[in-house]
Amino acid sequence: MSKYVKDLVTDDIKRRLDGVDDALLCNMIGLDANKTVELRKQLREKDIHVLVIKNSLARRATKGTQLAAAFENVQGAMALVWGGEDFVSLVKEITALHKDDEYEQFQAKGGVMDGEALTTEKVLEISKWPNREEQLSMLVGQILGPGAKLLSQIEAPGANLASQVKQISEQED
């Protein structure tokens, strides 16, 4: 490939990855063409993008970005995967696909999160974290919990007083 063509391809990759800070590197070797098309369709429906890229071109395109850490010690053919609701949801989706017998060969081999390179073990650990939606529900629960407790503490004396008044009125009858 000539230097001019490499520069064109590198510029195209830079354009595609503009704004991407977190991504996974996945192994797609072993999937036949039909399974690959099905896999890409499933991922596209969840707004997850897949780009199979030559490592040397990826290094050139991501040089100076947060994604550069992902390609430092990469060997063999890899696919760059990014998108989804958030990074944890992306990791959970990729991990779930690997557990599926149909896409067993599709496995996360590493990646980058916040400029830090990830290993396969770290990716599996991240897949157990709560995603954005789960974190928001936990936060709402933590915010509402003290308010509900305060409300019950404010209502309790009034309820006790009303109960005592009722008992006194019943005794007088």
CA distances (Å), origin 163, targets 58, 67, 159: 74, 66, 6
Tens digits of residue pLDDT in 100-146: 888 888 888 888 998 888 888 888 888 888 888 888 888 888 888 88
Q: How far apart are the first and last CA of the chain?
A: 102
Tens digits of residue pLDDT in 64-104: 888 888 888 777 778 999 988 889 899 999 998 888 888 88
Which amino acid type is present at position 163? S
Model pLDDT, residue 48: 93
Which residues share a beta bridge with 133? none
Look at 92 and 153; give whichever has higher pLDDT.
92
Domain ranges of the chain: 3-129, 140-173
Q: Class assignment of domain 3-129?
A: alpha beta
Percent of the chain at pLDDT exceeding 70: 99
